[in-house]
A and B are shown apart, each in its own frame.
Chain A
Amino acid sequence: MDLEMEKTGNQLCVSIKGSIDTITAPKLDQTLKEQLNDVVELILDFSGVDYISSAGLRVMLTMNQSMTDSNGKMMLKNVNDEVKEVFEMTGFDSILSFID
């Protein structure tokens, strides 16, 4: 998994490329936590994500909660059909915010 980050003011956009799985999820979790200090809007670009497993879902849940707790918001964009289906199966689609 590769991450590309672009910060504009209080907005952080992270492009994720690869899989968010049992191996890569801890790295994503740690990297995002290190970057979130003054971030109000976190955008995760999923255009390069081929799949997400439960380890990745856990990261999405904690990041989303962390942003909500600090009165910020997290949004996912460019989520492909296969990844979207995993969010739908688990009910995560009802809490996460998606943009095109």
Chain B
Amino acid sequence: MTDSDKSFQLCENKDLVLPAKRIAFLTLKEWLKEMIDELDVIVKNQVQLTIICDEIFTNIVDYGYPQGNGTIAVSAKYDPSKNLFELKFVDSGIEYNPLLAEPPSMNCPIEQRQVGGLGIFLVKKMVDFIEYQRENGQNILIIKKYLIKKA
């Protein structure tokens, strides 16, 4: 097995199931950090992937499970030939497509803006691909991002 295959396998095998509670983001953050450290990518990529996870996870907790009961499954894939990292979030909460959320109005004064739409706005800015599906009563959100290795 080559090092590249190992990286792919490493991420492929690291699935995570978390309770739909904000505090569980700490576990998600550690899980992500462990993987990203292995991939040896630039700090900007590490920071952006952490923010992406924060925004998506918090969104599912708030909108998918307002009662606070449920789980969120997160899985990761990495394609070393393209330096392409993929994260998949699956939950069985209320049907919610974050891609349909109203973007924050960038024309009105910032003091009057609704901060609510900012999370998904940030995610869209930071990823190279994002897709939402509703299948078998589950919300599935997939993001992909090209990473840059440290020099």
Contact = CB atoms under 8 A, between A and B. Distances in A.
Interface of A: 19, 21-23, 50-55, 57-58, 61, 65, 81-82, 85-86, 89-92, 94-95
Contacts, number: 62
Contacts of B144: none
Contact of A61 (B44, B115, B119): B115
B33 to A, nearest CB: 11
Interface string B29-52: 100000000000001100110110
A23 B22 contact: yes
Given A22-B58, A53-B54, A61-B111, A91 B47 contact: no
A81 B44 CA distance: 9
Q: Is the interface of B mostly helix, strand, loop or mixed?
A: helix
B44 A82 contact: yes
A92 B50 contact: no
A85 B125 CA distance: 11
B95 interface: no
Nearest to A93: B110
B122 interface: yes
B47 A53 contact: no
A51 B50 contact: yes
Given A61-B111, A91-B110, A95-B111, A53 B23 contact: no
A61 B110 contact: yes
Contact of B55 (A53, A65, A95): A53
Contact of A51 (B25, B47, B104, B110): B47
Contact of B58 (A19, A52, A55, A91): A55
